[in-house]
Structure 1
Amino acid sequence: MRHAKPVNAVSWVEKLKEQVRVDDLNALALRFVYSLRLIAIHRRARRDPVPELAAKLGNVTAAIAALDLTETIAAIWPEPVRVGRACCRCLTFDEVTLARALEAVVARDRPAFNHQLEGLLKPGRIDLVWEQAMTLVAAELNAS
């Protein structure tokens, strides 16, 4: 398991000041952040997000996998997942964490994935998110 280097409070605060933007993500992580935001908009409006999500992603299977992963994350995340506005190029801390975790799934790097979620989720729940994220990545890659 990968362990983070010890950091002092000053370097931790500096790390938090770094603003991650959508341009810093790989394509699948970017599509997932977009899906998170679109699902949040639809949930607030009490509408089904799948039709628009499928149209935007170009794949019903990927849309359903993104929705399943998002709903699981929403159910097990320690607090409400914070998502940015659809037009915002900057990411929230939750979006960064989830995007980096998804990038690790794309790279098939389980230790990096675990590292992103350690301390936030129980190990069994991390396994569940890994499995659902793998399903999403497979659906996205099969659509390409």
Structure 2
Amino acid sequence: MTDPGDAGGAGSATGPSRQLGRLTGRLTVEGRVRVVALSGELDFDSAPLLRSLFQEALDIDGARVVLDASRLTFCDSTGLNALVVARRAATERGSVVSVAAPTPAMARVLAMSGVDTVIAVHPTRAEAVEQAREVG
């Protein structure tokens, strides 16, 4: 794992893939930017995986967490709630959460629920990571 104070992201560490139900997740650490990449379906059964990954991503105050949603095929209200709760926990620690590259279906869910008004949504992972570095 890289030095938590390294905001430049010169090195990176990738944790193992984890799976719960029809959701696979992986945490990548690049300095103060943590990328939580999800693949599959985020629902009642799999939301604990998102919560676990976010808890790990927020292991230091001021961490910048990007949720890579480019391979997320489904998200129900439980998944949205887990995302909003993670954002609240991040804010309390001086951290920031954003969403990167949502599929059209996921972007629609974020917009219809209003979550995109409280969590920044970026069209690409690269843009989200770059913005997170600039904020930090």
Normalized against structure 2, the TM-score is what?
A: 0.29
Higher helix share: 1
Structure number with the bigger relative contact order (C-alpha 8 A, sep ≥ 6) is 1
| Normalised TM-score (structure 1) | 0.28
**Greater gyration radius:** 1
